[in-house]
Amino acid sequence: MKHHLNDGMNESLKLTDVTKRYGASQHVLSGLNYEFKPGTATGLVGENGSGKTTLLRLLSVAAFPTSGTITYGSINIHEKPYEYLQSVGLVNDSSDLPQDLTAVELLEWILRGRKRWNETSQSQIVDLLDRLYLDERRYNLIGTYSSGMLKKTQIALSLIVAPVILLMDEPFRGLDDATQKTVLVQLQEFRNKGGILVVSSHMKSILETLCDDFLNLPIRA
């Protein structure tokens, strides 16, 4: 039977003996086992170089494990990436967004690409950008945005698709205090509705408020 991610938020995202190394270099991750459960927020912690971004790249299928598997429910996410990614929202620490679109156009493009555009989508976009305090400059080209506006756009992209899984690398960086607070509330709502949140951030006080558990990644000798 075909597995549908949107059948419900009741599956775990599991790492089984996951190892990642680049070329002949040392392991970035080695024999990692972990279960990200529905309705939880997990903070990735560790020193620089411990593999937090690498793990998020593996979970978002931007990289493949050297060995081991990552599964969501019954599917291996690297064997069925398209099916898996349909219900994943992603915030990278970089801000590589199309320069010649506006935030509004980009959100519409994403929804249409995932075949989720309907008669309420326009108002959903407006409501979400309002909640993130992205002002009338949402109609300007992304190439003119400040770092804070780029981060708000990234967060809006991750949320507009109604994800089951949110993978976030430094989502609070560059945000003003008011936006940090509203993003924190939205992420708490996502978790409380049964979503899986995996987040890396240097803002320890926010992580401690948000997260139920922490995955500590040691630097490999």
Give me the DSSP letters along 88-144: EEEE-SS----TTSBHHHHHHHHHHHTT---TTHHHHHHHHHHHTT--GGGGSBGGG
pLDDT band at 220 (very low <50, low <70, confident <90, very high): low
For 182-196, how does the pLDDT look when each residue is reduced to its tens digit (9 = 90+)? Answer: 999 999 999 999 999
State the CB neighbour count (10 A cutoff) for residue 39: 15
pLDDT of 221 > 60? The answer is no
3-class SS at 208?
helix
Got the DSSP string for 37-89? -TTEEEEEE-STTSSHHHHHHHHTTSS--SEEEEEETTEETTTSHHHHHTTEE
Considering the segment(s) 12-216 as one domain, its CATH architecture is: 3-Layer(aba) Sandwich (3.40)
Alpha-carbon distance of 206 to 184, in angstroms, equals 8
If pLDDT is split at 50, 70 and 90, which confidence band does 219 have? low
Structure tokens at 155: 């967060």
Per-residue pLDDT of 1-46, as tens digits, reads: 333 444 456 899 999 999 998 877 777 899 999 999 999 999 999 8
Cβ-contact 171, 183 below 8 angstroms: yes
Report the C-alpha gap between 166 and 176 in whole angstroms. Answer: 21
Instruction: Classify burial at 66, counting beta carbons within 10 Å of its beta carbon; exposed 0-12, middle 13-18, buried 19 or more.
Output: middle
Rounded average pLDDT over 118-144: 96
Indicate the domain borders of the chain: 12-216
Average pLDDT on 74-98 reads 92
The residue count for the chain? 221
